[in-house]
Amino acid sequence: MKHLDVLLVCGSGASSGFMAVSMRKAAEKHNVDATITARSEAEVDSYIDSIDALMIGPHLKYLADELKERYADKPVKIILMDPSYYSTLNGEKALKDLIRHLREDSQSA
C-alpha cells in the first residue's frame, strides 16, 4: 500500500488529536506508511488537496454528506468514524476501518 495522508476531524480538533496519536502508534506497529493529522472541521478546505482520506468524528455525522457532496470531484475517501472505536480512541480499530474503506474503493474501481 502506498503512503497515506489522512486527516481526522472533530469539532475543535481535540478528541481527533488523541485519536490521531493512537492511530499513528497502530500504523507504526503494523508498518503502515501513513501521515495522520488532526484538525478542526473548519480547516478541511486547507488540506483537502493533499490527503487520501478524511475521517470524521461520529458526532459530526450531519457533516459527512455535505462534505462528500462538496468534495465529490476530489480523489479523497470520506469516512465517518464508528462510535465504537472513536469513543475509546482505539487507533487499532480506526486504522483497520480506514484500510477496509480504502480497499473497498480500490476493488470497486
CATH number at residue 60: 3.40.50.2300
Q: pLDDT (tens digit, 9 = 90+) per residue, 34-74?
A: 999 999 888 999 999 999 999 999 989 998 889 999 999 99
Three-state SS annotation for the chain: CCCEEEEEEECCCHHHHHHHHHHHHHHHHCCCCEEEEEEEHHHHHHHHHHCCEEEECHHHHHHHHHHHHHCCCCCCEEEECCHHHHCCCCHHHHHHHHHHHHHHHHHHC
pTM of the model: 0.92
Number of structural domains in the chain: 1
Structural domain for 55, as ranges: 4-108
